[in-house]
Structure 1
């Protein structure tokens, strides 16, 4: 909602013992107590929650024979679409090969395997999560994402990062 300042919320999280890491792998494999990290050397398991992808529990189940102790919490407007891009660079000399590669990336062949091999949802319309080994069952896909315009992101990103770093430093 609009009554809570996001940076005040992050500051409160930091003051309450939240662990901030340099990236997803460190957070999920080393600190998160609910994921596959417990089988990774150096696992601490000192965090009961982690910020991850909505389908992380589904991936956990898929690779563990439909078993996971992870679950996800989906709150309206608490998620933001992550978009990964592939494109052809202006001035490229091999545009036909580049376009063929883009077409391949958009193919049914690549996209039907995307959730299991790249651990991301297919970009194809009406794509679904695999039903195999609990992948779909344990995946909670959000229905109402936060929406922020590209212009606002461009205008405010540096300030947001700075404010977040300030809020999470103790």
Structure 2
């Protein structure tokens, strides 16, 4: 598993920072000849896909899409998910592409409410229907992932201490000073874990929970890479904290060749479910091509490639997962959730309150 994909979560979430997104204007795109708005698609049938920086699929799949459709796919990255949505909002009157991939459920309502998406009802596998947002079809679910506390099993065995199971366990005295988390103002998994606590304890209870974590010496890192590689005590890390906020898909990456067990595990009672969506941009130069891109992202070939290309889980549950994922990376059966509308309404306030409470 390549660690480079994790940069999706290590860059700033750019929450509410429209001005910062504006600095990365449409001129930062590369390649392609499609008109940014209005008119017809560029010669050769170019379709522009706007994504976050961690979009990755095998070249062979992209070539096959181009061969099957006669289109040329021009992928244009716009930063992390938050920066990308901000950029789409800023440019909605002159859209910078035709289709978008990577809007997640922490920014979904904002994108829909800002009018940057055109309705398109893609045909969904039954397992994906639970992730739909609204009734108009602006956002099509493509993949899902769980942000969870991970535990270094070898550390706990060596110290003869039971591995915690729940969010409440993390506040107990025996786990004092053992947990590293990410700052939700600068890290997407940090934001996801904050939302897990909102989902678990409610809008009136999450702050009290964080007060208990602070009293239990929780350590805060600015990014996933700092928390995982610098603070965490796992095999591929250099730190001394045996608990860290990471992903349900992280443990397979820690399994040595030939091993029959994973040295780390995800605590599946601590997870927040993230969903990534695709859609057709309103005012797209090539809306028909954009629809083909959305359909392609739901195709069995792309869905099967998502785990090992983007380290997320396909929304199509009929697609076979890699063997290591089946064994070491199960999804949570009851992840915590917060509705996209609530996230849009309260995201900034929750982050400000967390900052005041935890880092001062």
User: TM-score with structure 1 length normalisation?
Assistant: 0.79
Given that residues 57 and 139 in structure 1 are in contact (C-alpha distance below 8 angstroms), is that contact kept between their aligned partners in structure 2?
yes
Give the counterpart of 2:331 among 109, 134, 141.
141
Q: Measure, in 2, the Cα distance between the counterparts of 1:164 and 1:70.
A: 28
Pair 1:104-2:299 in alignment: no
Does the C-alpha gap of structure 1 residues 66 and 149 become closer, same or farther in structure 2, counting only changes over 3 Å? farther
RMSD: 2.3
Pair 1:47-2:203 in alignment: no
Q: Measure, in 2, the Cα distance between the counterparts of 1:116 and 1:151.
A: 31
Alignment length (residue pairs): 158
Give the counterpart of 1:151 among 318, 330, 341.
341
* 2:83 matched residue in structure 1: none
Structure 2: segments with no counterpart, 5+ residues: 1-199
Given that residues 29 and 35 in structure 1 are in contact (C-alpha distance below 8 angstroms), is that contact kept between their aligned partners in structure 2?
no
Q: Measure, in 1, the Cα distance between the counterparts of 2:201 and 2:209.
A: 12
Aligned-residue offset at 1:119: 0.7
* 2:268 matched residue in structure 1: 74
Given that residues 233 and 241 in structure 2 are in contact (C-alpha distance below 8 angstroms), is that contact kept between their aligned partners in structure 1?
yes
Aligned-residue offset at 1:57: 0.7
Does the C-alpha gap of structure 1 residues 127 and 167 become closer, same or farther in structure 2, counting only changes over 3 Å? farther
Given that residues 81 and 145 in structure 1 are in contact (C-alpha distance below 8 angstroms), is that contact kept between their aligned partners in structure 2?
yes
Q: Measure, in 1, the Cα distance between the counterparts of 2:340 and 2:258.
A: 38
- Structural mapping, 1:7-156, within 5 Å: 7-36=207-236, 38=237, 44-61=238-255, 64-65=256-257, 67=259, 68-75=262-269, 78-131=270-323, 134-156=324-346
Given that residues 111 and 124 in structure 1 are in contact (C-alpha distance below 8 angstroms), is that contact kept between their aligned partners in structure 2?
yes
Does the C-alpha gap of structure 1 residues 125 and 139 become closer, same or farther in structure 2, counting only changes over 3 Å? closer
Given that residues 59 and 119 in structure 1 are in contact (C-alpha distance below 8 angstroms), is that contact kept between their aligned partners in structure 2?
no
Aligned-residue offset at 1:60: 2.8
Aligned-residue offset at 1:66: 5.6
Structure with bigger gyration radius: 2
Q: Measure, in 2, the Cα distance between the counterparts of 1:159 and 1:50.
A: 24
Residues 135-170 of structure 1: CA distance to partner in whole angstroms, max 9, x if unpaired?
A: 321123211122322222222222211121122115
Secondary structure at 1:17 match in 2: coil
Structure 1: segments with no counterpart, 5+ residues: 39-43
Q: Measure, in 1, the Cα distance between the counterparts of 2:268 and 2:224.
A: 18
Q: Decide which structure has greater strand share.
A: 2
Given that residues 268 and 335 in structure 2 are in contact (C-alpha distance below 8 angstroms), is that contact kept between their aligned partners in structure 1?
no
Aligned-residue offset at 1:2: 4.8
